[in-house]
Amino acid sequence: MLDPRIIPCLLIKDKALFKTINFKNPKYVGDPINAVKIFNEKEVDELIVLDIDATIEKREPDYNMIEHLAEECRMPLCYGGGVTSSEQIQRIIQLGVEKVAISSAAIENPNLVAEASECVGNQSVVVVLDVKRNSLNGRYEVWIHNGYRATGMCPFELALQMEKLGAGEIVINSIDNDGLMKGFDFALVDRILKSINVPLTVLGGAGSLNDIGCLIDKYRIIGVAAGSLFLFKGVYKAVLINYPNRIEKDMLIEEYYRKRL
Amino acid sequence: MIAIIDYGLGNVKALANVYKRLNIPAIIIKQVEDLKRADKVILPGVGSFDNAMQKFENSGMRKLLCEMVFERHTPVLGVCVGMQMLACSSEEGSLPGLGWIDGEVIKFRLSSLKSSMRVPHMGWNDIKQVRTNALLQGLDVDSRFYFLHSYYFHCHKNEDIVAVTDYGGEFACVVNSGNIYGVQFHPEKSHQWGIRLLENFGKL
């Protein structure tokens, strides 16, 4: 039986590991390779690594860093950040990355998604949508350039468009919930899941394993990603890389997923 | 020595790393001359079928690999699209496959899946052995593997199917005919279970 995926998401800035709140105030967490080594031992389902500076600084992906990460990862790796062409995507895949995430570039140039899936296959093309609720009209809107620029676009229509062009997975990232650890935005997940047929991964808001359980309980086979939850411990958010061990994860999935089939 | 064929697709480095940790000699090869020294071969692959077939063809290794597989009976393991390349054809493309294992590659049909099931088939799934095979030694209980694919191998001969996985119906996830092996999942990204499978292949 296919299990839901529980995925740590690592943010990279100046080659180091950081964690943000609402996409702001990046806090230094440590060394990404060290984090990967710990997550290897924890046997995590997948790993997402996002270079949050690359697009804003208009620079190419850091291929040396990606190669190094891919060599260390004993789990599937999804890399995102600064990707603007299908040549870059092919190069990243050749470095040993399973999936490449595109966000700003996919929205500014949707044809990139089609080109990319043509050469590397749709299963390796992930589109990340950073979403924020408009405080005036309550509508969900897609933001690009790491939360700096509003597009006014509707995430639900955009997600379907991306799927039709060849995206094999959509990651929906809630800017409003980022780093708050207060739970996922179910209204957002509801609507996005109804819009698409490819796998969805939800990011932004996980504060406990129970939050993950609730999402799995409701949406069954889904990707659940989290940053803070797997990087910090306790009320003072001390850095402690963690992930449920095999027994804990099995119990979680048993309780929220298999038992309720 | 195991040769991991690098024709520009697939996670050759992750495969090589697993063997390095296992202390089993394996090298990544790009040149046809280097292939000659191998006593086992891994054919990785990601991406689209035609792209993989074309790139493999361009590598110039096909002829020698054929000789090794059919005359010297060198064991070969196809991984993911590398497994699909062993088939005769694929719905994903128009180029013929290698045709080393009788079958065709077909797409998951959304209509035959439950509503929560999506394509690609992405994530950790279990496998069910339908016959004992050295490749799966020690992997009969609770082993899980990472899958990432929209197409699957439809075997024409039941006896070539070693293990199946359920995703809206059972499909062949491990195939074997003689010295030719294929796995649909990514053993190089499947933690201890994948390591064990690659170790088993190394010990064939």
Q: One of A53, A62, A130, A185 is an active-site residue; which one?
A: A130
Specify the residue for token string 């950790």: B124
How far apart are the CA of B121 and the nearest CA of chain A, in angstroms?
8
* CA A240 centroid distance within chain: 20
- The helix (H) or strand (E) run that includes residue B171 is strand B170-177
Q: Which residues of A touch B150 (CB under 8 A)?
A: 121-123, 168
Chain B contact probe: residue of A94, A189, A222, A254 with most B CBs at under 10 A: A94
Residue-number span of the structural domain to which A160 is assigned: 5-260
Residue B127 falls in which region: left (phi positive, over 0), alpha (psi -120 to 50) or beta: beta
Number of domains in chain A: 1
3-state secondary structure of A76: coil
3-state secondary structure of B135: helix
- For the four alpha carbons of B11, B12, B18 and B20, in that order, the dihedral sign comes to negative
Asked if pLDDT for residue A261 goes beyond 70, the answer is no
Which stretches of chain A are assigned E, i.e. beta strand?
A: 5-13, 16-21, 24-30, 47-51, 77-80, 99-102, 125-133, 140-144, 149-153, 169-174, 200-203, 223-226, 232-233, 238-239
SS3 content of chain B, % helix, strand, coil (to 5): 30, 30, 40
Asked if pLDDT for residue A73 goes beyond 70, the answer is yes
Specify the residue for token string 């060290």: A34
Task: Count A/B contacts: CB-CB distance under 8 Å.
Answer: 111
If you count them, how many residues does chain A have? 261
- Domain of A124: which CATH number? 3.20.20.70
Q: What is the predicted ipTM?
A: 0.94
Q: What is the pLDDT of residue B47?
A: 81
Give dist(CA B127, CA B146) in Å, integer: 11
Asked if pLDDT for residue A220 goes beyond 70, the answer is yes
Give dist(CA B147, CA B125) in Å, integer: 7
Q: Which residues of A touch B42 (CB under 8 A)?
A: none
Q: What is the pLDDT of residue A235?
A: 86
**Comparing A207-216, A251-260, B169-178, which segment has the lowest mean pLDDT?**
A251-260
Q: Phi and psi of B133, rounded to 5°?
A: -155, 140
Give dist(CA B55, CA A7) in Å, integer: 32
How far apart are the CA of B41 and the nearest CA of chain A, in angstroms?
18
What pairing do the DSSP bridges indicate for beta strands A140-144 and A125-133? antiparallel
pLDDT tier for residue A260 given thresholds of 50, 70 and 90? confident
Q: Would you call A67 exposed, middle or buried from its count of C-beta atoms within 10 A (0-12, 13-18, 19+)? A: middle
- The helix (H) or strand (E) run that includes residue B180 is strand B180-183
pLDDT per residue as tens, chain B (204 positions): 999 999 987 778 889 989 999 999 999 999 999 999 999 999 998 888 998 999 999 999 999 999 999 999 999 999 999 999 999 999 999 999 999 999 999 999 877 777 778 999 999 999 999 999 999 999 988 899 999 999 999 999 999 999 999 999 999 999 999 999 999 999 999 999 999 999 999 999
- Tokens for B151? 């197409």
Mean pLDDT throughout A19-33?
A: 96
Cis ω for the linkage preceding B120 (within 30 of 0): yes
DSSP lists the bridge partners of residue B125 as B145
Q: What is the pLDDT of residue B140?
A: 81
CA distance readout (Å), A44 to A64, A105, B184:
23, 29, 20
- Of the candidates B11, B148, B149, the beta carbon closest to that of A96 is on B11
Q: What is the pLDDT of residue A216?
A: 96
* CA A47 centroid distance within chain: 8
Q: One of B121, B155, B188, B199 is an active-site residue; which one?
A: B188
Q: Phi and psi of A127, rounded to 5°?
A: -110, 125
- Tokens for B106? 């077909």
- Of the candidates A93, A119, A123, the beta carbon closest to that of B150 is on A123
Contact B14 A219 (CB under 8 A): no
Asked if pLDDT for residue A199 goes beyond 80, the answer is yes
Asked if pLDDT for residue A258 goes beyond 90, the answer is no
Residue ranges and CATH numbers for the domains of chain B are 2-203 (3.40.50.880)
- The helix (H) or strand (E) run that includes residue B161 is strand B161-166
